[in-house]
Structure formats: C-alpha cells, structure tokens
Amino acid sequence: MGVRFKFKTGIFINPLPVLSSPTGENLRRYCYHETEKLANYLLGKRSNDTKSMLELIHLLRMLLHVRGMDGTFFHSQYSNFQLMKRILSDPLRGSQHNVESIMEGTVVMLHAQRQLHRPMVGFTPTHLEALKLLVRLGVSPYAVTRIEAQKVLDASLAWWAYSYKLVLEDMLEIIRRPKEAHNHEEFKAREFVVGG
C-alpha cells in the first residue's frame, strides 16, 4: 500500500482587484472624462497651445486604441530581442547562448505580440464622446493640432465599422456654419473632416 500525500496547491493567487477610479467607475471612462474637461478648457481658453493639444490628442489615442502594448514599443522590444539572439549565437565566438534565456525571450515576445493584436472592443458611449471631441479638435485653426486629431479620428473610424454614421451630423454641422465664421485654414480642415 502506497503512502498518501496531501498536496496543498499554492499556485492560485487571490484574484487581483479590478482597477477603478476614485469614484468607483471604469478607469478608462474616468480618464476620458478628466481628459474631456482638459480639452474643453484648452479649446475655450488656450486654443493656440499646440503642445498641450498634441498631448491631449495622444491621450485620446491611448485611451481609444492601446490595450496592453503600443506598436512602437513592441517593435523596439522585438528588435532588441533579435539583436540579443544574434549576439548569443555568433558563429565566431561559438555557441554561447543559453536555451532557457532564448526560450524565455521567445515566450515574452509571443505574449507581447498577443497583447499588440487588435482586440475586439465594443463601441461604447465613451468612444462616441471621444470621436465627437476628435471632430472638434480636427477643425482646429492650427495645422499641427488639426493633422494629429484627424489621424486619430481616421484610425478610430477605420477601427469601428460604421462609426462614422454616429458623428456624421457633427461633421455636417461644421460645414453648415457660415463662411464668415471661419478662415480659409479652418474651412479646409472642415472639408477634410467631412471628406474623410
């Protein structure tokens, strides 16, 4: 008769708490509402502050599109991994590589690639508010702000199919404004936003 052992499984950890805002709502939604407050302030009182506008647009892009890992970070990490693989398996120095480190690096890169893949994220009312804000930023009189906002808006409209229908009325309202209410640069921006 064999000896019986009682195993204690210690591999399961307590579930991590869900990240939430100080008010208890979804963290991305909270960040978006704080970003929207900042955008309204900048659009109302400091529309010529292009550096702050660019940072604001960058925040919107991160809130809308980044889930886990950014593409530029992944590519830099991948090139570093490839370089280390080449250094460790240099034929002139002999085979110095450690199989464990190469396998660990490969698993990390596969996980990073999985995080980079575009997840299926549902379109929420927060996304709609962000698109409407990007439409407002996309008709800025300053070219740098306008171009960056239009890039993010274009990527967002391509990300969620038929989402353009939800902001179409806002775009048409911008075009319907009287010509005296804007200068030539703003009018070009309005034509671009509506023309896509």
Q: For residue range 39-84, what is the model confidence (pLDDT) as tens digits?
A: 999 988 888 888 999 999 999 998 888 776 666 777 777 887 777 7
Average pLDDT over residues 177-186: 63
pLDDT for position 187: 64
pLDDT for position 57: 93
**Confidence band of 190 (pLDDT split at 50, 70, 90):** low
Mark whether 100 and 124 lie in a shared domain: no
Mark whether 112 and 126 lie in a shared domain: no
pLDDT for position 9: 46
**Are 183 and 175 within 8 A, CB to CB?**
no
Mark whether 59 and 28 lie in a shared domain: yes
Mark whether 109 and 177 lie in a shared domain: no
Mark whether 77 and 136 lie in a shared domain: no
Residue 105, pLDDT above cutoff 80: no
Mark whether 102 and 180 lie in a shared domain: no
Mark whether 113 and 130 lie in a shared domain: no
More confident position, 191 or 172: 172
Helix ranges restricted to H, the chain: 27-45, 50-65, 71-88, 99-116, 125-137, 143-159, 164-176, 184-195
Mark whether 131 and 82 lie in a shared domain: no
* Count of structural domains within the chain: 2
Mark whether 113 and 125 lie in a shared domain: no
pTM flag (> 0.75): no
Average pLDDT over residues 138-153: 87
Which among 53-67, 103-117, 178-192 has the top mean pLDDT?
Answer: 53-67
Number of neighbours of residue 71 by Cβ within 10 angstroms? 10
Task: Identify the domain containing residue 126 by its residue range.
Answer: 18-67+120-196
Q: Which of 83, 103, 118 is the last residue of a domain?
A: 118
Mark whether 63 and 74 lie in a shared domain: no
Mark whether 22 and 53 lie in a shared domain: yes
pLDDT tens column, 114-129 = 766 656 677 888 889 9
